[in-house]
Structure 1
Amino acid sequence: MTVCFTRDSASRESIPSSRSSNLVALSRERATYQGSKLAYRFLQDGETESGRLSYQDIDLKARAIAQKLQSSNATGDRVLLIFPPGLDFITAFFGCLYAGAIAVPAYPPRRNQNLPRLQAIIDSSGSTFALTTSSLLARIAGSFSQSSAPEQPSQLAALHWIATDAIETENAQSWQPPDIDPQDLAFIQYTSGSTGDPKGVKISHRNILHNSALIQQSFSTTPEDSGVSWLPPYHDMGLIGCILQPMFVGASMTLMPPLAFLQQPIRWLQAISDRQATASGGPNFAYDLCVRKVKPAQLETLDLSRWKVAFTGAEPVRAATLARFAEKFAPCGFRETAFHPCYGMAETTLIVSGKTPNALPVVQSIETASLKENRVKLSTDDAQETQSVASCGQPLEGVEVVIVDPNALTLCSDRQVGEIWIKGESVAQGYWNQPALTQKIFNAWLLDNGDSPQERLRQRKGPYLRTGDLGFLQSNELFVTGRIKDLMIIRGQNHYPQDVEATVEAAHAALRSDSGAVFTIEVSAKGSVEEKVVVVQEVKRSYLRKLDPQAVIDDVRAAVTRQHGLQVYAIALIKTGSIPKTSSGKIRRSHCKTQFSETSLNVVGSWSENPRLTAEFVRLDAEMNALLEKLG
């Protein structure tokens, strides 16, 4: 989870190492020493350049935007950033910082679909100002009256809206530099909400500069590097890794809309090839998508020989995906040593660990039975069932990572799976306006393994960040196995949902990759309550009309039982593109579970041990109730 860059022999100027204490000073330093250098270019459709910014352009436009905010008394306030993919977001973000305001990036609403999330961010952050473009402002203004929730129009309309593309650059002359302490907040990063409601992570200038130094340490990037990114700027990987990191290094970045990549993954690889990028990346699904969608004939147009850091993070790294990608794109010059699995999250600003450069990814084969018992036993020749787990690299310098028993709050023994706890300057200040949750997550203390409670408390150590992730350390390599909240415990054994999801999607050709969720529900039977497995899985668009639901369901049930020894309680096959995902592409399992319970999934076929849970029963029940209402 990190940045993106390529060698550019035309830019070999001597750049002093940055000692800036905040992002405004850093940006002004870049404008002074590298003013004319290309900082960012944007490919509107993933292919055609539609705009570019030099470091001098950024400084000029940021000062103009800041002056407008300062004249509106926005200094110190939270400022919502609502932009379509493009360069306007970058100048607006720095404009907030130049004004001494706190930026609040938010995903732009699409036909009212994201209004509830946007409203939640406004309510949480207490933003009073909002920056956007003239065209998007006109569209958003139209949604004020179209919203189904009566309280939303007034609250959205109450914001002080400013179209940054309408601000004259002459205003920059009246800008007043703010007094910024390194501990001051730069922005509030709202989490993608894969396991719950979005939370605002408080990121300071010091957090960003410290984490940027870690990324540069991990990637060994220089001002001569440049990169390519399709990642959304509202997400930590896209913002920190692919917008702020190039600024920190003094490098160049090529950006494209996420949709351009998703529609045609070849665009990402073609941009890397055309610009000879040395580092770029994304979540595991991005590599899998390229393997599945890039045609053999298209390989002939690609030169990936300069791509030296292919980072992957934000979701579990699958060793099989890395192997398939390396094999397919080896003829294009791609080297397996370029893979750079890493680990991090918004609460740590971004990166925590990363792979050693120029080395193959570390993959361990673990006995599946041991993982079910929170143990790590390396597989042997006579092991009946094994699982390949890819390392997320080694904790970076200045970052302490410990593996903790999440219940006893004590260090785990060697080769034991536990919760990942983190300590270091990149750890954020907490959650905005959530002191109780901040205390619980950001101020965890590790107890000593003493004999008495008094001794354990006396020798406690901290504070640490509780990540909620499960994993283990081996030879200083960090292996992440899953999320505590997502972990399924069936008959006393642990099962990771992503493992079962991989089995499900491979069970039948009609099922769409990276588009399924597996979770458990409580079911009462014979006076006791048991955890039962539920599968929700998208169907490929090309199979919707000719789908044989029962055949697919039979294959899924058989595969899950064969591979994991689990009996599936219910299966819902749903329409293409309808499963809940975050802005970064993660499956929202908890939200999917809620939709299953509320029978609000877009189901095209279903089965359950309990017929009352099937889509057909729900439909007939609703029709019967409607008929009874008419008769009544």
Structure 2
Amino acid sequence: MFRSMVDVLASRAGEHPDRTAFRFLANGEADDADVTEVSYARLDRRSRAIGAALHERGLTGARAVLLHPPGVEFIAAYLGCLAAATVAVPGLPPQGRVLKARAVSRVRRLIADADARVILATKPVIAALDAMSEHLPELDEITCLATEDIPDDAGGSWRASDLTADSIAFLQYTSGSTSAPRGVMVTHGNLMDNQVVLSRGMGHTPEIVEEYGGELYVSWLPLYHDLGLIAPVLNNLYLGGTSTLFSPLHFLQKPERWLTALSRYRPHTSGGPNFAYELCLRDATPELVGGLDLSRWRVALNAAEPLRAGTLRRFAETFAPAGFRAGALHPGYGLAEATLMVSGGPVGQEPRTAAAGDGAAADGEWVSCGPPGVGLTVVIADAERRTERPEGEVGEVWVAGASVTQGYWRNARATREVFGASLTDGRDGFLRTGDLGFLRDGELYVTGRQKDLLVIDGRNHYPQDLELTVETAHPAVRAGCVAAFSVAGEGDSGAGERPVVVAEVAAGASANASTNAAADVADTGDASAGGAEWLGEVEAEIRGAVGRAHGLALAVVVLIEPGTVPKTSSGKIQRAAARAAHLGGTLAVVGR
């Protein structure tokens, strides 16, 4: 029915112009007065005004890097790019702790790789870029446009572009967890098809929107990331609902803000990666749980990183007194190369699990990511033989369907390697995800990344499972800040691939350590205080835990300073980068 999200927005603005499309909690607090709301009519006007401004500057078909902080102005700018047939390139704005070298590097990479002609941002972001101009010579060749300076009445000159299903809507840069980030070319046809996949998979129907009074989503996920953009923003528009948004920084500072927003606005759907549920569990005091009402939360999406059966069970048990139902847990699987969602659900059914095999999940179970979405085909392939593996056997996850994107921007080689794979039985057009998994009873279980897999003495080990074991081995190890990988011939054996773990240690977590040195650490706030005795205890606990759980003798344990393990902009561990830093001697080592 709709060609693009431009048509969707126009339709929604006509149907219910005064309905709130998005509200943004400026401070992350549900009961704070500093809340920005934008109606469908106003959002339509803003997107047309920005689209007209881009048209007038001859930027139709050009790439526009979006560097807005979290908020409704980013959404208006993104939709304005679609309205102008300008290719949007969402990026991480230079703010907070990434203001310096890391921000400069990311912005330069986006501008260069996308061959961008314009930066769209807010005035404070543009001022920050100007302050870094000596490190950003690209700014001399590119237009910087503050979108809030564009008046609404500029939309009077807007004219619809001739968009087709094959027109590129935006470039979604991958997280770069196993390779350099690549710009995925997402077309308008891909976007519209995946909206159907999302809506069917999460039970989003017009009837549900009305039953919930329009309250469809609450989200703190980054808007420049595919999960934070395509679900709570675009799927909300597609259904004509209301999304409540706030900054991921505010969530990380105080995870209970997510739960209180859910209790206050009572949406149908909300979610995040597995670590977000763990953070909520960490802060789940009886007083907090007793003050929540989560009874209307029907889809608690868990995606974007490995799923933990233990996390799901503990979350359901902990928040059951607040009305949360285990059937709301909704593990899913997706990737930018397939626009977003590949599998998930079913809605209302407790997630299925499967016993893990030899050398597999630390908690003994794999979690189902649900059946493939409508119109999508998932096969588990033996990539070398190009044959389909039998049910229950692990292989590479291949995906086909209209949600599969066109490839990587200006990267023909990578596009050939990843897109358009074929099986010997004649089926073709598959996307090679690089993920490992298996199918059982029509549902997908994802077991890990092929490039990250550790093969030690002929046995496969998934790094996320070693990392979970290390996280729980000693209270000084920071959760979500461990990288496991293998290196050639390191350690006492001197032959073959040997396992290495790199782990951040936090001084504040060492209070339960048994040695006297741990007290010195707690007193000084310095993880290196207390010397080799305390560090040796942490290392010994890590080695013992990995040996018991996985039957592995670690070649090296590297303990590093907080906040220094390599991660992507969306928070995923960059194991290859950690390995390179280890081999290059550039880790911020506390001890090994």
Which 10-residue stretch deviates more, 124-133 or 156-165?
156-165
Aligned to 2:530: none
1:174 to 157, 170, 173: 157
Deviation for aligned residue 1:300: 1.8
Which 10-residue stretch deviates more, 583-592 or 493-502?
583-592
User: Is the contact between residue 397 and residue 432 of structure 2 (CA under 8 Å) also seen in structure 1?
Assistant: yes
Within 1, Cα distance between the matches of 2:363 and 2:355?
6
Aligned to 2:243, the other structure's residue is in SS state strand
1:602 to 578, 588, 592: 588
Superposition pairs of residues 100-499 of structure 1, within 5 angstroms: 100-109=85-94, 110-112=98-100, 113-145=102-134, 147=135, 153-221=136-204, 222=206, 223-224=209-210, 225-368=215-358, 387-448=364-425, 460-499=426-465
Q: CA offsets, 1:28-83, max 9 Å, x none? A: 11111121110000001111343111111111111111111111100111111011
Deviation for aligned residue 1:541: 4.5
User: Is the contact between residue 309 and residue 363 of structure 2 (CA under 8 Å) also seen in structure 1?
Assistant: no
Within 2, Cα distance between the matches of 1:557 and 1:138?
49
Aligned to 1:31: 13
Deviation for aligned residue 1:537: 0.8
Q: Alpha carbons of 1:524 and 1:261: their partners in 2 closer, same or farther (altered >3 Å)?
A: closer
User: Is the contact between residue 368 and residue 386 of structure 1 (CA under 8 Å) also seen in structure 2?
Assistant: no
Superposition pairs of residues 451-600 of structure 1, within 5 angstroms: 460-523=426-489, 529-543=495-509, 545-546=521-522, 547=527, 548-600=534-586
Q: Alpha carbons of 1:136 and 1:283: their partners in 2 closer, same or farther (altered >3 Å)?
A: same
User: Is the contact between residue 446 and residue 462 of structure 1 (CA under 8 Å) also seen in structure 2?
Assistant: yes
Within 1, Cα distance between the matches of 2:562 and 2:579?
18
Radius of gyration: which is bigger?
1
Letter in 2 for 1:329: F
Q: Pick 1 or 2: higher relative contact order, CA cutoff 8 A, min separation 6.
A: 1
User: Is the contact between residue 232 and residue 583 of structure 1 (CA under 8 Å) also seen in structure 2?
Assistant: no
Unpaired runs of at least 5, structure 1: 1-18, 148-152, 373-384, 449-459, 607-632
Aligned to 1:72: 57
Letter in 2 for 1:100: A
User: Is the contact between residue 230 and residue 261 of structure 1 (CA under 8 Å) also seen in structure 2?
Assistant: yes
Q: CA offsets, 1:464-516, max 9 Å, x none? A: 00000000001001000000000000011100001111111111111111111
Aligned to 1:407, the other structure's residue is in SS state coil
Within 2, Cα distance between the matches of 1:251 and 1:525?
57
Deviation for aligned residue 1:122: 1.2
Deviation for aligned residue 1:226: 2.0
Deviation for aligned residue 1:524: 6.6
Deviation for aligned residue 1:368: 2.4
User: Is the contact between residue 81 and residue 89 of structure 1 (CA under 8 Å) also seen in structure 2?
Assistant: yes
Q: Alpha carbons of 1:396 and 1:53: their partners in 2 closer, same or farther (altered >3 Å)?
A: same
Deviation for aligned residue 1:584: 2.1
Aligned to 2:469, the other structure's residue is in SS state helix
Deviation for aligned residue 1:527: 11
User: Is the contact between residue 491 and residue 556 of structure 2 (CA under 8 Å) also seen in structure 1?
Assistant: no
Which 10-residue stretch deviates more, 537-546 or 154-163?
537-546
Q: Alpha carbons of 1:386 and 1:36: their partners in 2 closer, same or farther (altered >3 Å)?
A: closer
Which 10-residue stretch deviates more, 490-499 or 405-414?
405-414
Within 1, Cα distance between the matches of 2:535 and 2:424?
52
Question: Percent same amino acid among aligned pairs?
Answer: 41
Q: CA offsets, 1:523-552, max 9 Å, x none? A: 279997421111111112414734511100
Q: CA offsets, 1:414-448, max 9 Å, x none? A: 32110000000000010000111111101111123
Aligned to 1:444, the other structure's residue is in SS state coil
Within 1, Cα distance between the matches of 2:186 and 2:216?
25
Deviation for aligned residue 1:278: 1.8
Within 2, Cα distance between the matches of 1:414 and 1:270?
42
User: Is the contact between residue 491 and residue 555 of structure 2 (CA under 8 Å) also seen in structure 1?
Assistant: no
Within 2, Cα distance between the matches of 1:334 and 1:193?
34
How does the TM-score come out when normalised to structure 2? 0.92
User: Is the contact between residue 490 and residue 498 of structure 2 (CA under 8 Å) also seen in structure 1?
Assistant: no
Deviation for aligned residue 1:188: 0.4
Aligned to 2:45, the other structure's residue is in SS state helix
Deviation for aligned residue 1:295: 2.4
Deviation for aligned residue 1:348: 0.4
User: Is the contact between residue 119 and residue 143 of structure 2 (CA under 8 Å) also seen in structure 1?
Assistant: yes
Within 2, Cα distance between the matches of 1:386 and 1:539?
22
Quick check: 1:52 aligned with 2:37? Answer: yes
Within 1, Cα distance between the matches of 2:445 and 2:390?
15
User: Is the contact between residue 189 and residue 200 of structure 1 (CA under 8 Å) also seen in structure 2?
Assistant: yes
Deviation for aligned residue 1:294: 2.9
1:63 to 25, 44, 48: 48
Q: Alpha carbons of 1:78 and 1:473: their partners in 2 closer, same or farther (altered >3 Å)?
A: same
Letter in 1 for 2:551: G
Within 2, Cα distance between the matches of 1:331 and 1:577?
35
Within 2, Cα distance between the matches of 1:331 and 1:135?
44
User: Is the contact between residue 277 and residue 311 of structure 2 (CA under 8 Å) also seen in structure 1?
Assistant: yes
Within 1, Cα distance between the matches of 2:142 and 2:585?
36
Within 2, Cα distance between the matches of 1:247 and 1:527?
58
Deviation for aligned residue 1:366: 2.9
Quick check: 1:94 aligned with 2:49? Answer: no
Which 10-residue stretch deviates more, 538-547 or 429-438?
538-547
Aligned to 1:514, the other structure's residue is in SS state strand
Within 1, Cα distance between the matches of 2:393 and 2:563?
38
Aligned to 1:368, the other structure's residue is in SS state coil
Deviation for aligned residue 1:155: 1.0
Q: Alpha carbons of 1:490 and 1:279: their partners in 2 closer, same or farther (altered >3 Å)?
A: same
User: Is the contact between residue 265 and residue 294 of structure 1 (CA under 8 Å) also seen in structure 2?
Assistant: no
User: Is the contact between residue 80 and residue 106 of structure 1 (CA under 8 Å) also seen in structure 2?
Assistant: yes
Q: Alpha carbons of 1:129 and 1:566: their partners in 2 closer, same or farther (altered >3 Å)?
A: same
Aligned to 2:392, the other structure's residue is in SS state coil
User: Is the contact between residue 218 and residue 356 of structure 1 (CA under 8 Å) also seen in structure 2?
Assistant: yes
Which 10-residue stretch deviates more, 335-344 or 167-176?
167-176
Q: Alpha carbons of 1:268 and 1:525: their partners in 2 closer, same or farther (altered >3 Å)?
A: closer
Aligned to 1:320, the other structure's residue is in SS state helix
RMSD between superposed Cα atoms in Å: 1.6
